[in-house]
Amino acid sequence: MTVHIGVIGTGMIGQDHIRRITDVVTGAEVVAMADLDADRARQVAAGVGARALANGHDVIDDPLVDAVVVTSWGPTHAEYVLGAIAAGKPVFCEKPLATKAEDCLRIVEAEQAFGRRLVQVGFMRRYDAGYRAMKQVIESGEIGAPLVMHCVHRNATVPETYHSDMAVQDTAVHELDIIRWLLGEDIVSAQVIKPRRTSRRFEHLQDPQLMLFETASGVRVDLEVFVNCRYGYDIQCETVGETGVVRLPDPADVWVRTASHLRTNVLQDWKPRFAAAFDLEFVEWVASVRDGTAAGPSAWDGYATAVLSDTTTEALHSGRVVSVRLKDRPAFYGG
C-alpha cells in the first residue's frame, strides 16, 4: 500500500524531502503540495507528477492525502500541524514544531485530545548511525552512568543574515534534542559563554559560543557552536560515564599519504554527514504512518526543545544561568 503524502512548503528543505520521498523511500508518493509562492509549487509538483493546491489547508484536507509534511516558514508550522491533527492525519513537521512554546503546548494538547500520536518533529540526528551506537553503549551500562558530555557543532561558514540567536535556535537546537535523547532526561538550566569572536565574523555575530547545560540528574554538558570555523562541517560528541567514555567517530574517508602528510577529508556541509539519517528518518516515518500513528521525536520533544531554545537564547542575552521551566510531562508522552 503506497502512502500518499502532501507537502506544505516547497522551498529548499521541502524540495529535498520531496526528492527523498520520491527517489529514496519506497511505498510513498507525494501527491499534492502547496507553497506561498504558487509558481514554485506548480513547478515542483510538475516535476514529480503531483498536484499544486492553493494553500496548506487544502493539502491537509485533500482526501487523497494520507499524511502531511510541513516544511513551510517556521511561524506557520503550528497552524498546519494543528490542522493535520484536526484532520486526524499523521504529520511530519520540520523543526521547529512552532516558533513559540505556547503554540507547541497547544499542539501537545490537541494531540492528546485526539488520543493517538500523529506528530513527528524533524530531529534527524536520532537516525544517525553514530548517535544510535552511542545511545546503545550508554544504555548497555558499559560506561556506567553519564556524568559529562562534550559536544562540538562547527560549520564552515554562514551567510551574513545569520545572527547570534540563530546559533541557539537553528544550530544548537540539534544538540538540544540529541542530548535529551541520548541521556533520556530533560535539561534544567542553560548558560552561554562568549569567547573572543573570530575576526572572520560579521560585526553582529557572536561566534563561537560556548553553551553549558545541566540535566535533571546533574549531567553537565558543554557545547561549542562555531559557525565560521572555515575548515568544514564538524560534529563531535563525547559522553563521559563513571567507568568509560564513548565518542562519535570522524566520518570514514580514504586516507592519503602525500607531501609529508597523512590526511583524510573533512566534510564541507551537513548534507553528506546526515544524508543517511535523513533517509532513514523518512523510511521510518512512512512505516509509522502506514500504521496510522507517529513514532519518532514527538510533539512533546518539539515543545521541550522550544522551551530550551528560548531559555538558552535568554541565557545568551543575559549572560546568566537560566533555569528551564517545563510543564510536567504527561503520561501520554511517557511522563
Closest to a second copy by CB, 36 or 193: 193
User: Which residue, among 190, 196, 193, has the nearest Cα to 304 in the 3D structure?
Assistant: 190
C-alpha cell at 282: 523518512
184 lies in the binding site for a second copy (CB under 8 A): no
User: Which residues are registered as beta bridge partners of 222?
Assistant: 150, 212
State the amino acid at position 194 in one-letter form.
K
Residues 72-111: x where in contact with a second copy by CB under 8 A, - otherwise, as a string: ----------------------------------------
User: CB count, 10 Å around CB of 127?
Assistant: 21
Closest to a second copy by CB, 11 or 251: 251
State the amino acid at position 157 in one-letter form.
T
Beta carbon of residue 234, minimum distance to a second copy (angstroms, whole number): 7
Among residues 222, 284, 314, 332, which is the contact residue for a second copy, using CB under 8 A?
222
User: Which residue, among 334, 64, 304, has the nearest Cα to 179 in the 3D structure?
Assistant: 304
Among residues 115, 159, 261, 331, which is the contact residue for a second copy, using CB under 8 A?
261
Among residues 54, 73, 116, 200, which is the contact residue for a second copy, using CB under 8 A?
200
265 lies in the binding site for a second copy (CB under 8 A): yes
User: Which residues are registered as beta bridge partners of 120?
Assistant: 92
SS3 236: strand
Question: What is the Cα–Cα distance from 215 to 89, expressed in whole angstroms?
Answer: 34
Residue 92 phi/psi, 5-degree rounding, is: -100, 120
The single-letter DSSP state of residue 294 is -
Among residues 220, 284, 314, 326, which is the contact residue for a second copy, using CB under 8 A?
220
Question: What is the Cα–Cα distance from 316 to 329, expressed in whole angstroms?
Answer: 26
Beta carbon of residue 264, minimum distance to a second copy (angstroms, whole number): 5
Among residues 258, 328, 331, 334, which is the contact residue for a second copy, using CB under 8 A?
258
Closest to a second copy by CB, 118 or 246: 246
Among residues 11, 13, 16, 24, which is the contact residue for a second copy, using CB under 8 A?
24
Q: Give me the residue label for grid cell 516558514.
A: 73
247 lies in the binding site for a second copy (CB under 8 A): yes
Interactions with a second copy, residue window 120-159 (CB under 8 A): 129-130, 133-134, 137, 142-145, 147-148, 150, 152
C-alpha cell at 285: 516515518
SS3 334: coil
Closest to a second copy by CB, 111 or 128: 128
Part of the chain binding a second copy (CB under 8 A), chosen from 54-62, 91-99, 107-115, 228-236: 228-236
244 lies in the binding site for a second copy (CB under 8 A): yes
Count the site residues for a second copy by CB under 8 A: 70
Spatial contact of 224 and 153, defined as CB atoms under 8 Å apart = yes
203 lies in the binding site for a second copy (CB under 8 A): no
268 lies in the binding site for a second copy (CB under 8 A): yes
First-to-final CA distance of the chain: 34
Spatial contact of 107 and 78, defined as CB atoms under 8 Å apart = yes
Q: What does the DSSP assignment read for 90-144?
A: -EEEPSPS-SSHHHHHHHHHHHHHHTS--EEE--GGGG-HHHHHHHHHHHHTTT-
291 lies in the binding site for a second copy (CB under 8 A): no
Closest to a second copy by CB, 101 or 152: 152
The residue ranges that bind a second copy (CB under 8 A) are 22-27, 129-130, 133-134, 137, 142-145, 147-148, 150, 152, 193-200, 208, 210, 212, 217-220, 222, 224, 226, 229-232, 234, 240, 242-266, 268, 276
